[in-house]
Chains A and B, each alone.
Chain A
């Protein structure tokens, strides 16, 4: 005969079971919350395809009446600038190009940079300021186009990336490659 043990009714024996159930409930709540966290993280996957500048892209005016028609560099006075897109890629703001005709007899006279400010991604003003520098209207960063778009002033920490270009005899401009650095803030 097995001796019948009286059932232990002290709290020690009952407590672990209760605690176990409490933990089970907590884990249940946690799993419930997690079940919403994962889909929330999955929300971020929408991405648009970004086309960038490539060698051979012809530059067209980005704004103004002539938007979409090929850039003619002969119309660009020394000491002024104009903004352009690579033809057919104007849906990606990050391909916006700042074409500057440097004053004096600098070589080369025409330089091209990304027009996206490296501070917070605004596009810089098409018009140069009175010192002939490139200005971002958002937080006042200033770049010197004669010095590889180095930062003259303001919160930007990096020069505008440059773009190698070829200028034809008839004044049309073609990209020779892509930007020599990452576009916009990094």
Chain B
């Protein structure tokens, strides 16, 4: 794999010398490390949103599993401590009475918010940087599917505590599902275990919330990550200056990225625990057990836009079609979100810049050169915000006409304003986000590798003397900077170092050749052969680096001519 950061000479040496451990002997874990352990992760602060979503999901699974040990998915009435409540409600009361279970319940609730929020931020980042374009359209689509699944799981999560809020919110969801023409009854009864609320409802919602949707999320996340491994990360623009074409610049998965990720997970869990301890998100006492009366319920922020649309859609927006009525509930609660998500799915195919036949988009596009995308993001966010405002429109004494004017006009105004301002600050020189190797003509003849770049320096090392040959590794400057990261060498530096390595290794191999013939001690022969292997590996690496450097230099020359 081209992107795998190459092991340095030192590490090669270590790999050859190390005695394999018990598991290594049986499972060859080293192979796993060699193949994936050095996958490069670009360093950029916005690259953590996806990881945050993943870790929120991990926390949700862990805390949710704990809660499932105590929770009872039944809405049959039971009498506990003289109070007759649904069994599910009573079991959540029990959860609340156990401090650690209550903490996990709150963490579970907060983590759901974090998961949705980080998926949204992740999506926004991908959109703004234009990295949903070729070759990453598939992952964009899987990402939107993940967002939908997460919203679905969150909605089912509302219903499980079976308090007054749960029954009302789920009842509304049931009615929205029932408004689907032709198949509404089938869909709503499949999704809510019969005509909600009925005895089967909670079992159905529990199975969907706990088994079906999380398994689908796990599968989709797995594919999402495999596609990233296959396609490699898109990179911040600075990588183009520092890494040769087709290579990803970043910290290796093991140990740097893994430790960073672990830190992120721990910090997230800590923050969620603190939040849960001091800001319990949805205590049972807030709404109490279900009553004939409906409390004033509002969905959480991430569904507020649909709620707002349901509120302001005029009741007479309905028409008949093939013997059924398309009613406002379906238009506002199903059709409108479907259209919205349809656009989201179609983003990679609506983008007119995504028409590249050869080559791919590999670098993040600087925000300043994408006024259109900035404007579209601003308009969309303002549109959603306006719909959230619509959820409260009568609280602000707005009439229906006024709120519709805001919902329609505000996104247009915001989008146009951002576009006009963005155009003004557009840079004169555009950064090309396409992969640079596409511009290297594939039919270019093999280039003279060594001559034009550098005069070959005299070999600097004495050949390894027989018997002690393994002891002296190739000289390499200490690659680690102060903060434990690899400093990023310039192309010229890389080329120079690679050239030195190639020449030294070739020379060394030449010196080793007679030794192989001369020796008759099998131990010594093995030692020499092992050493040759390490030199050979280093040579192959350096040579490949050199090819990349020379190619990119060529490309630079060609672009100067143009």
Residues of A within 8 A of B (CB): 40-41, 43-48, 50, 62-63, 83, 85, 90, 93, 96, 115, 119-126, 136-140, 151, 153-157, 184-185
Which residues of A sit under 8 angstroms from B200, Cβ to Cβ? 46
Q: Is A120 a contact partner of B190 (Cβ separation < 8 A)?
A: no
Q: Is B329 a contact partner of A119 (Cβ separation < 8 A)?
A: yes
Nearest CB to that of A49 among chain B residues?
A: B198
Contact A136:B328 (CB < 8 A) given known A93-B197, A120-B172: no
Return the 10 tightest CB-CB contacts between A and B, nearest first.
A46-B200, A44-B189, A46-B194, A157-B315, A48-B198, A122-B294, A120-B175, A137-B296, A62-B292, A123-B294
Nearest CB to that of B77 among chain A residues?
A: A91
| Cβ of B176 under 8 Å from chain A | yes
Contact A157:B176 (CB < 8 A) given known A44-B194, A47-B195: no
Which residues of B sit under 8 angstroms from A123, Cβ to Cβ? 292-294
Which residues of B sit under 8 angstroms from A46, Cβ to Cβ? 189, 193-194, 198-200
Of the candidates B175, B194, B197, the one whose C-beta lies within 8 Å of that of A45 is B194
Distance of A83 Cα from B316 Cα, bound (Å): 29
Which residues of A sit under 8 angstroms from B193, Cβ to Cβ? 43-44, 46
Which residues of B sit under 8 angstroms from A63, Cβ to Cβ? 291-293
Residues of B within 8 A of A (CB): 168, 171-172, 174-176, 178-179, 186, 189-190, 193-195, 197-200, 204, 291-297, 307, 310-316, 318, 327-329, 332, 394, 400
Q: Is A48 a contact partner of B194 (Cβ separation < 8 A)?
A: yes
Q: Is A48 a contact partner of B199 (Cβ separation < 8 A)?
A: yes
Which residues of A sit under 8 angstroms from B332, Cβ to Cβ? 155
Contact A157:B171 (CB < 8 A) given known A47-B195, A63-B292, A185-B178: no
Q: Is B315 a contact partner of A156 (Cβ separation < 8 A)?
A: yes
Minimum CB–CB distance for B257 against chain A, Å: 39
Which residues of A sit under 8 angstroms from B292, Cβ to Cβ? 62-63, 83, 85, 90, 93, 96, 115, 123
Nearest CB to that of A184 among chain B residues?
A: B175
Of the candidates A47, A48, A139, A157, the one whose C-beta lies within 8 Å of that of B316 is A157
Q: Is A154 a contact partner of B315 (Cβ separation < 8 A)?
A: yes
Q: Is A125 a contact partner of B294 (Cβ separation < 8 A)?
A: yes
Which residues of A sit under 8 angstroms from B312, Cβ to Cβ? 155
Contact A122:B189 (CB < 8 A) given known A83-B293, A155-B311, A185-B329: no
Q: Is A47 a contact partner of B194 (Cβ separation < 8 A)?
A: yes
Which residues of A sit under 8 angstroms from B178, Cβ to Cβ? 185
Distance of A87 Cα from B316 Cα, bound (Å): 36
Contact sample, A vs B, 26 pairs, CB 8 Å cutoff: A44-B186, A44-B190, A44-B193, A45-B194, A47-B194, A47-B198, A48-B195, A93-B292, A115-B292, A119-B329, A120-B171, A121-B172, A122-B171, A125-B293, A125-B294, A137-B295, A137-B296, A153-B400, A154-B311, A155-B310, A155-B315, A155-B329, A157-B315, A157-B328, A184-B175, A185-B329
Distance of A62 Cα from B199 Cα, bound (Å): 21
Which residues of B sit under 8 angstroms from A155, Cβ to Cβ? 310-315, 328-329, 332
Which residues of B sit under 8 angstroms from A154, Cβ to Cβ? 311, 315
Given contacts A120-B310, A120-B329, A138-B294, 7 further A-B contacts (CB under 8 A): A46-B198, A93-B292, A126-B293, A137-B296, A140-B311, A154-B311, A157-B318
Q: Is B197 a contact partner of A138 (Cβ separation < 8 A)?
A: no
Minimum CB–CB distance for A22 against chain B, Å: 26
Contact A139:B171 (CB < 8 A) given known A85-B292, A119-B329, A125-B293: no
Distance of A123 Cα from B290 Cα, bound (Å): 12
Distance of A66 Cα from B238 Cα, bound (Å): 73
Distance of A16 Cα from B332 Cα, bound (Å): 51
Nearest CB to that of B171 among chain A residues?
A: A121
Minimum CB–CB distance for B33 against chain A, Å: 38
Distance of A40 Cα from B193 Cα, bound (Å): 11
Minimum CB–CB distance for B317 against chain A, Å: 9
Distance of A138 Cα from B328 Cα, bound (Å): 15
Distance of A55 Cα from B382 Cα, bound (Å): 53
Minimum CB–CB distance for B331 against chain A, Å: 11
Contact A185:B293 (CB < 8 A) given known A44-B190, A47-B198, A155-B315: no
Nearest CB to that of B291 among chain A residues?
A: A63
Which residues of A sit under 8 angstroms from B328, Cβ to Cβ? 155, 157
Distance of A44 Cα from B174 Cα, bound (Å): 13
Which residues of A sit under 8 angstroms from B297, Cβ to Cβ? 137-138
Which residues of B sit under 8 angstroms from A140, Cβ to Cβ? 311, 394
Distance of A138 Cα from B200 Cα, bound (Å): 25
Minimum CB–CB distance for B306 against chain A, Å: 11
